[in-house]
Amino acid sequence: MEKMEYSSFVYRPIGIIHSPYQKDREKPPPQGVYSPENRGHVDIFPQFSEGLKDLDGFSHIILLFHFHLSADYDLVCYPRGDRELRGVFATRSPRRPNPIGCSVVELERIENHRLFIRRVDVYDGTPLLDIKPYVPVFDEICKGADSLDGRVRLGWLAERLKREKRNGIL
Amino acid sequence: MEKMEYSSFVYRPIGIIHSPYQKDREKPPPQGVYSPENRGHVDIFPQFSEGLKDLDGFSHIILLFHFHLSADYDLVCYPRGDRELRGVFATRSPRRPNPIGCSVVELERIENHRLFIRRVDVYDGTPLLDIKPYVPVFDEICKGADSLDGRVRLGWLAERLKREKRNGIL
């Protein structure tokens, strides 16, 4: 265990995500759901393109990527629109000890090793680490994407999401 | 872009996931949904415990982890119960170019820097890379975890999932 604590893992990008959001110009939405029509594309490096076989059967995919513009991390932070300090693991902040992001996007089509996607929520040039097929029965917990109650509790985020729904942002 | 292709990212574990599944003894289920009652716990390294603030408000969390028993990867593979070679990115195989796993688990409670979880589907000793709050409106696409049709297409997996539902495995 002590040993594990000091081991490290080296990952290399398998491709690059392209989006309309350029650093210092325009920020991406905080999550894809805020701009579901947003288009982008992913260029997979040719040496990995064989791994794309059968992916075109899936309408949605999970992208794991490196937040390449996050230079450091904070263990607590003020989330957007919140006046209280929250633990980073209770937020989706990109300033995380391991700056890995995770987005579900819609896969429109694949041409050679370019994936055309919608619901993109990352900066242009984001290094891609992995793609997984999105499978509701594996990846979804509650009945209905709109439910904010029932079996799922949303902690400090519940109030903000309710407010955003009321204001038509979400 | 050429430069990006050769850059790499170094991540360090923030904790260790413990489960009933020991290497060479018992395999974990392929996904948490196959054994939703399965219990485990996550020990967060003390230097990261401040980041757990407010996490106890969430009933479900996303764990990103390193598949530490995957020594290598295949660009195509035969998924469980399938006789056709599939592209690795169209599967959830642990033998991936960047062996990062992603599981949604139920958070029962937190004691100090130990998280008690259910729906665990990884080997004991799995290094944890990140925790994110699970937020249905961000992370879910379709209406209802059981829907296998509608807006979501499931490619080669659709047949297997239907079969597993019919046989009561899922």
The pLDDT tens digits for B87-102 are 999 999 999 999 999 9
Residues of A in contact with B102 (CB under 8 A): 62, 64, 102, 132
Phi-psi region of A139 (alpha: psi -120 to 50; beta: other; left: phi over 0): alpha
* Cα separation, A79 vs A97, whole angstroms: 16
* Cα separation, B63 vs B101, whole angstroms: 8
Which position has the higher pLDDT, B137 or A10?
A: A10
Output the CA torsion A44→B74→B35→B128 (10° steps): -70
Task: Decide: B147 and A104 in contact? Cβ < 8 Å.
Answer: no
Q: Which residues does B168 contact at the CB level (< 8 Å), separation at least 6?
A: none
Average pLDDT, chain A: 90
Tokens of B123: 């080997």
Tell which residue, A3, A18, A21, A13, has the closest CA to residue A115: A18
Of A47-61, A143-157, B101-115, give the lowest mean pLDDT range.
Answer: A143-157
Which position has the higher pLDDT, B136 or A147?
A: B136
Average pLDDT, chain B: 90
pLDDT of residue B48 exceeding 50: yes
pLDDT of residue B109 exceeding 60: yes
Q: Is A4 on the interface with B (CB under 8 A)?
A: yes
User: Residue B76 and residue A50: Cβ atoms within 8 Å?
Assistant: yes
Task: Decide: A161 and A154 in contact? Cβ < 8 Å.
Answer: yes
Helix (H, G, I), strand (E, B) or coil at B79: coil
User: Residue B88 and residue A156: Cβ atoms within 8 Å?
Assistant: no
pLDDT of residue B66 exceeding 80: yes
| Interface pTM, i.e. ipTM | 0.91
Q: Is A51 on the interface with B (CB under 8 A)?
A: yes
Which whole number is the average pLDDT over A44-67?
A: 97
Output the CA torsion B8→B13→B17→B23 (10° steps): 60
